[in-house]
Structure 1
């Protein structure tokens, strides 16, 4: 078995890199959805949601950077074109959403889809003793599960 400079199997790391790039692509779409919601939200909850959406897109931007750096750490090359992002995306693309409940539902749906991808990566990383990727996915999952819970609580009126 050939190993990389981290002591991980090259073949197994390539599979993880592929999945990380898919997650990176989906996070880029999630980020852009959040930017659009931030810009277009209207109504009585504008002030609260405008700030919340900015908080969420800033967090997504940090995660995007972490994902790209993890791909590089494992010896891969992060996807970085809009064509690649769209080709590898499984999230709904939000367009012209200005209603509060539609905006929150788009975020819930996006985070739920991201969780599915992250759990696949978590399992793969765990099987291959890739603790760096494993820890990252665990952190992402924990935060996103809490955010989903809070957004569902917000939707209950």
Structure 2
């Protein structure tokens, strides 16, 4: 057995020694911190690995002149659409309701119709959610703080 597996088993044993409400509170804290991290990534218009989102496509010639003044996904990063769920076994950050479909299209770069009367458009992949090394370090810190208290 590798050393990493041994550490993982001992850490799981320590976490399982916590009471169910304590584990749930730890999971809720982790989910809230991850949501804040994802909201910041969306605000900065970048994926979790730091690469910037692909810019919007240029509008057709006949459309209005001027630049688009609002940023992409401004409403999606609000608490109304990014919900946190926590149980004693898991922490979940997810998009809710009707926006899940739109998020899936943009996250994976799928084809979709922007409105009923328009033709399908191939969207650029813009990963809205993801885990990076700083998130993993944050989760580790929260787990250590929960175990030490």
Query: What TM-score do you get using the length of structure 2 for normalisation?
Result: 0.34
* Greater fraction of residues in strand: 2
